Amino acid sequence: MSLGILALLALLPILSVFGLIVLFKWPATKAMPVAYLLTFLLALLVWKAPFSQLTAASIDGLITAASILYIVLGAVLLLNVQQESGAIYSIRSSMFLISSDRRVQAIIIAFLFGSFIEGSAGFGTPAAVAAPILVAIGFPAMAAVMVTLIIQSTPVSFGAVGTPILIGVNTGLSGQIEVSNYLNTHNINFAPYLNSIGAKVAIIHGITGTLIPIILVLMMSRFFGKKRSWKEGFSFLPFALFAGLCFTVPYTITGMFLGPEFPTLVGSLIGLAVVIPLAKAGFLIPEKTWDFPPKKTWPQDWVGQEFSDRHDKNGDRPHISIFRAWLPYFLIALLLLLSRLWLPLKNVLASISIKWTNIFQTSINTGFQPFYLPGFLFLVTVVLTIFIQKISKKQVKKVINRSFRTLLGPTIALGFAVPMVKVFINSGAPGGLDKMPVVLASAAAALVGKGWTVFAAVIGAMGAFIAGSNTFSNMMFSLFQFATALKIGVIPGVVIALQAVGGAAGNMICIHNVVAASAVVGLLGREGLLIRKTIIPMIYYLIVAAVIGLIMLQVFKM
* Whole-number Cα distances in Å, 44 to 368, 424, 454: 27, 11, 33
Q: Is the pLDDT at 558 greater than 90, yes or no?
A: no
Who has greater pLDDT, 348 or 409? 348
Q: What is the pLDDT of residue 120?
A: 87
Q: How confident is the model at residue 139 (pLDDT cuts 50, 70, 90)?
A: very high
User: Please, are residues 554 and 54 in contact by the beta-carbon 8 Å criterion?
Assistant: no
Is residue 435 over pLDDT 80?
A: yes
262 confidence band (pLDDT: 50, 70, 90): very high
For residue 368, list its beta bridge partners: 354
Closest CA to 469 of 121, 127, 120, 124: 124
- Residue pLDDT, tens place only, 299-309: 999 998 665 54
pLDDT at 88: 85
Q: 221 lies in which domain range? A: 3-286+322-554
Q: In total, how many domains does the chain have?
A: 1
Q: What is the mean pLDDT of the chain?
A: 92
pLDDT of residue 79: 87
Report yes or no on 46 lying in a domain: yes
Rg (CA), the chain: 23
Q: What is the Cα–Cα distance from 364 to 477, expressed in whole angstroms?
A: 18
Decide if 536 is inside a domain.
yes
Percent of the chain with pLDDT over 70: 97
Cα 231 from Cα 222, distance rounded (Å): 8
Distances in whole angstroms, Cα of residue 487 to Cα of each of 369, 444, 446, 460, 492: 40, 14, 11, 18, 10
Which pLDDT value is given to residue 306?
62
Q: For residue range 353-398, what is the model confidence (pLDDT) as tens digits?
A: 999 999 999 999 999 999 999 999 999 999 999 999 999 999 999 9
Residue 332, φ and ψ in degrees, nearest 5: -65, -40
- Which of 48, 19, 44, 47 shows the shortest CA–CA distance to 31? 19
**312 pLDDT above the threshold of 90:** no
Q: What angle do CA 67, 69, 74 make, to 5 degrees?
A: 100
Residue 295 covered by a domain? no
Residue 192 lies in a domain: yes
Q: Which amino acid is at 107?
A: I
For residue 366, report the phi and psi dihedrals to the nearest 5 degrees.
-145, 165
309 located within any domain: no
pLDDT of residue 322: 92
Q: Give the separation between CA 185 and CA 80, rounded to whole angstroms.
A: 58
| Alpha-carbon distance values, 90 to 18, 319, 501 (Å) | 40, 8, 38
pLDDT score of 310 more than 50: no
547 domain-assigned: yes
Task: Output the pLDDT for position 538.
Answer: 98
Cα separation, 167 vs 3, whole angstroms: 31
Are the CB atoms for 259 and 195 separated by under 8 Å? yes
For the cut 60, the answer to whether the pLDDT of residue 429 exceeds it is yes
Q: Does pLDDT of 317 surpass 70?
A: no
CA-CA distances (angstroms) from residue 73 to 77, 125, 129?
6, 12, 12
Separation CA 477–CA 456 (nearest Å): 10
| 316 has pLDDT over 90 | no
The single-letter DSSP state of residue 283 is T
Measured CA to CA, the distance from residue 93 to residue 312 in angstroms comes to 14
Q: Where does 121-262 have alpha helices with state H?
A: 125-136, 141-150, 159-163, 170-173, 177-185, 190-209, 212-224, 237-257
Element of type H or E holding 354: strand 354-356
| pLDDT of res. 1 | 82
Position 545, amino acid: A
Percent of the chain exceeding pLDDT 90 equals 78
pLDDT at 124: 77
Residue 310 lies in a domain: no
DSSP H stretches of helix in 428-510 = 436-448, 452-467, 470-488, 492-505
**Looking at the domain assignment, is residue 315 inside a domain?**
no
